[in-house]
Amino acid sequence: MPILILSCLVAVGCSSSYMTSSTNVSKEKKSYNKILVVAKTKNKTARIRFEDQVVTDLSALGVAAASSMDVIKVESFDKELTEKDLDKLRSDLVASGYDGILVTNLIDASQYTDVVPGGTSTAYYPTRYGRFGRYYGYYPVSYWEPDEIRTGVQYILESTLYDMTDNDGDDLQWVGQFKLKDPGSITKTVAKYSKELTTALKESSIQ
């Protein structure tokens, strides 16, 4: 997988939504004292920008949150954690006052091909005939635009919210998926993704 592509969180300059699904798995809304925001990417700059933006947007909605940069001090998320590692991480986070964790991952990157249909149009132009100086008739002039083939890279990302204090079963609270095509500007797309993410969380999962 590309070097992440949260570094791919970049704008395509369109107004359509990135979010393709939003599911409150727990079926209820919950209040959190503090949520840790984690962007699992190898790109440190992308990680900082994304996490900081989500923290800012959550704070604007009255939800306390913090970036993982000073808490999970790793340069890469390549290392596979054991159950013991995960249990310790969870215990450490809870001991530090975190009762929620929001994790964003790239789950797929693939080529896409879109066909933009062409079309025809007809215009009628007057045609002057002979020396009599009058219009003899109108003749149709047709224009044809061929189909346009557009190709690029499509990224599917997933953000998940977990309740760190739930030890009785599945602690997944909410999951959302996002689709991005042909990223361009990291600043604009991080802002758009974060806005859609935090708005959906506040509306459906966080009190």
Q: What is the CATH number of the domain that holds 75?
A: 3.30.160
Phi-psi region of 2 (alpha: psi -120 to 50; beta: other; left: phi over 0): beta
Q: Could you read off the pLDDT of 146-164 as tens digits, one per residue?
A: 888 888 899 999 999 999 9
Q: Per-residue pLDDT for 32 more than 90?
A: yes
Supply the range of the domain harboring residue 38. Answer: 19-109+153-204
User: Does residue 133 lie within any of the structural domains?
Assistant: no
User: Does residue 10 lie within any of the structural domains?
Assistant: no
Sheet holding 172-181, edge to edge: 19-24, 172-181, 148-163, 100-116, 35-39, 65-67
Q: What is the pLDDT of residue 144?
A: 73
Q: What is the pLDDT of residue 67?
A: 97
Q: In this predicted model, which residue has the larger pLDDT, 100 or 82?
A: 100
User: Does residue 45 lie within any of the structural domains?
Assistant: yes
Q: Could you read off the pLDDT of 10-27 as tens digits, one per residue?
A: 333 345 899 999 999 999
> Per residue in 53-71, is it b (16+ CB within 10 Å) or e — as a string?
bbbebbeeeebebbbbbeb
User: Does residue 96 lie within any of the structural domains?
Assistant: yes
User: Does residue 190 lie within any of the structural domains?
Assistant: yes
Show the tokens assigned to 11: 């704008």
Q: Could you read off the pLDDT of 42-55 as tens digits, one per residue?
A: 888 999 999 999 99
Confidence band, pLDDT 50/70/90 cuts, at residue 81:
confident
Q: Per-residue pLDDT for 124 more than 50?
A: yes
Q: How many domains does the chain have?
A: 1
User: Does residue 47 lie within any of the structural domains?
Assistant: yes
User: Does residue 103 lie within any of the structural domains?
Assistant: yes
User: Does residue 33 lie within any of the structural domains?
Assistant: yes
Task: State pTM to two decimals.
Answer: 0.77
